[in-house]
Chain A
Amino acid sequence: MNPKQKQRLVLVSLLVIGLGTGVSLVLMALNENINLFFTPSQVVAGEVPTNQRFRIGGMVTLNSVEKLDNELTVRFKLNDSAKEVQLEYAGILPDLFREGQGIVAEGKLNEEGIFIADQVLAKHDENYMPPEVAQALEASGSAYYNNEENR
C-alpha cells in the first residue's frame, strides 16, 4: 500500500468510526424516545407522561381477561413479570390476542390508574413451531407456554 492509499484508508476509517460514535451518542441520548412503549413497571413507577397518550407493552396476565356485560369493553391486566397494570379496551381485539400473549396498547391512564386503551396490537414472539410441538410443550408442563417471561 502506498502512502496515499494509506492516508485514504485512515480517512475512511475515521469517517466510519467518527460517525459511528456520533450516532451512538445521539441514540443513547434519545433512548427513551426510541422505545415504542413503556413497561408496566415504568407505569407503576410513574415514569410515564401524565395526561398524554402513550403506549404500554407487556404480557396479558393469565385469568385476567373479563368481558364487561352488555358492552364491547374488555378488561385485562398487563404485566412484565414485576408489576401489573389494569387495562380497559372497547374495540376489536387482534386475532393473536390471548392470555399469556404480548401486546402493545396505546391510550391514556385515567385518574384511577387504569389504562384506557384505544388501540391494542398483538406482539408475537420469535418462536415458530407446529401445533403438535406447542401442545407437547404445554402438556409437558415445561411451563414454557405458561411462563409469563417467555414472549
Chain B
Amino acid sequence: MSEQNKTWLWFHRMGSPAYFYNFAGLLLPWCVIATVILMLIGLIGGLVYAPADYQQGEGFRIIYVHVPSAWMSMFVYMVMAINGAIFLIWHIKLSDIIARSSAVIGASFTFLALATGSIWGKPMWGTWWVWDARLTSELLLLFLYLGYIGLRAAIDDRRVAGKAASILALVGVINIPIIHYSVVWWNTLHQPASISKFDNPSIHIDMLIPLLCMALAFKLFYLCILLINSRSELLEQEKRTQWVKELVTSS
C-alpha cells in the first residue's frame, strides 16, 4: 500500500468510533507520562535553572505559566473552530466531539492567561488591569468560550447544538488574529511578542528552553484532556451500539 493510501486509511479508521475509542485509550497513558515529564522539566527549568531577568528579577518567572496558557487559549480555540467548520461542511461527528471536548479546557487556559497576566502586571506595570487591545481581546476570547459552552448547554438536540456552536466558533475566530496582532497594530501596554516565527527570539536561550518545555507540556496536557473527554462523548453518542454494549458489560 502506498504511503498516501496508508494515511488515508488511518484517517478513515479514525472515523470509526470503536477504533478511535480504542486508539485514544492506548495513547492516553503515554500522553500522561509525557505530560508529567515535560511539566517537571519545565517547572524545574523555569523556577530553578533559568537565570533571573535583568529588569524583572525573579518576577519574570510567571512567564512559564502565563505564556503557555495564552498560547493554548488560542490554539484550542482554533481546534474548536476548525472542527466546527468540518462538522458544518462534512457532518463528521467526531469533529463535533473534539470541539465539544475542548471547550472547558480552552476556557480554563484563557482564564489562566488572564489571571496570571493580571498577577504579573501588578508588580511590573503597576496595575492589575488595563483596557488595552491585547488584554481586552483575550477577555473577549473568554466570553466567546463561555458563550460557546452556554450555547451547547442550552440546546437539547445534539446535532442542532453542534451546528449552532460551530457557527459561533467560526464567528469568533476573527478574534484570534486580533489577539495576536493587537500589540503590533495598536498602542498597548502589553509588550510585543518575544518569540515570533520570523525573527530571532528576544528572550535569552537559558530562559527560552524551559518556556518551550512548558508550552509542549501544556499542549500534551490538552491532548490528555481531549482524549479522556472525547472517549466519554463517544460512549454517550454510541451508547446503543453493539461495541459499546460489549465494552461496558465485559468490564
CA distance A20 to B131 in the complex (A): 22
**Across-interface contacts of A8 in B (CB, < 8 A):** 88-90
Instruction: Given A16-B170, A134-B54, answer yes or no on A35-B125 (Cβ-Cβ < 8 Å).
Output: no
CB contacts under 8 Å to A, within B59-107, are 60, 63, 85, 88-90
Q: Does A34 contact B (CB under 8 A)?
A: yes
**Across-interface contacts of B167 in A (CB, < 8 A):** 15
State whether B202 touches A130 (Cβ < 8 A): no
Q: Does A96 contact B (CB under 8 A)?
A: yes
A-B contact count (CB 8 A): 116
Selecting from B26-34, B148-156, B181-189, the interface stretch reads: B181-189
Q: Does B124 contact A (CB under 8 A)?
A: yes
State whether B194 touches A128 (Cβ < 8 A): yes
State whether A131 touches B54 (Cβ < 8 A): yes
CB contacts under 8 Å to B, within A22-47, are 23, 27, 31, 34-39
**Across-interface contacts of B170 in A (CB, < 8 A):** 12, 15-16, 19
State whether A94 touches B126 (Cβ < 8 A): yes
Q: Does A71 contact B (CB under 8 A)?
A: no
CB contacts under 8 Å to A, within B122-139, are 123-127, 130-133
- Cβ 8 A contact of A36, one of B53, B189, B191, B194: B189
CA distance A39 to B189 in the complex (A): 13
Q: Does A51 contact B (CB under 8 A)?
A: no
**Across-interface contacts of B207 in A (CB, < 8 A):** 128-130
State whether A130 touches B206 (Cβ < 8 A): yes
Instruction: Given A16-B173, A104-B189, A129-B53, answer yes or no on A36-B125 (Cβ-Cβ < 8 Å).
Output: no
CA distance A4 to B226 in the complex (A): 30
Q: Does A48 contact B (CB under 8 A)?
A: no
Interface residues on A, range: 35 or more
**Across-interface contacts of A36 in B (CB, < 8 A):** 130-133, 186-189
Q: Does B178 contact A (CB under 8 A)?
A: yes
**Across-interface contacts of B132 in A (CB, < 8 A):** 36
State whether A34 touches B194 (Cβ < 8 A): no
Instruction: Given A36-B133, A130-B204, answer yes or no on A9-B191 (Cβ-Cβ < 8 Å).
Output: no
**Across-interface contacts of A57 in B (CB, < 8 A):** 187, 189
State whether B133 touches A34 (Cβ < 8 A): yes
Instruction: Given A15-B170, A36-B130, A128-B53, answer yes or no on A9-B89 (Cβ-Cβ < 8 Å).
Output: yes
Q: Does A124 contact B (CB under 8 A)?
A: yes
Residue of A nearest to B81 (CB): A16
CA distance A57 to B189 in the complex (A): 9
CA distance A36 to B190 in the complex (A): 10
A residues engaging B (CB < 8 A)? Answer: 5, 8-9, 12, 15-16, 19-20, 23, 27, 31, 34-39, 57, 94-96, 104, 119-131, 133-135, 151
Other 19 A-B pairs with CB < 8 A, given A12-B85, A128-B204, A131-B52: A8-B88, A9-B89, A15-B167, A19-B174, A34-B186, A35-B133, A94-B126, A96-B56, A121-B125, A121-B127, A124-B125, A126-B194, A126-B203, A127-B194, A128-B60, A128-B202, A128-B207, A129-B53, A130-B207
> Can you list 17 pairs linking A and B with CB atoms under 8 Å apart?
A12-B89, A15-B171, A19-B170, A20-B174, A35-B187, A94-B124, A94-B126, A95-B126, A96-B124, A96-B125, A126-B202, A127-B194, A127-B203, A128-B56, A128-B203, A129-B203, A134-B55
Q: What 4 pairs across the A-B complex have the smallest Cβ distances?
A: A134-B54, A94-B126, A130-B51, A36-B132
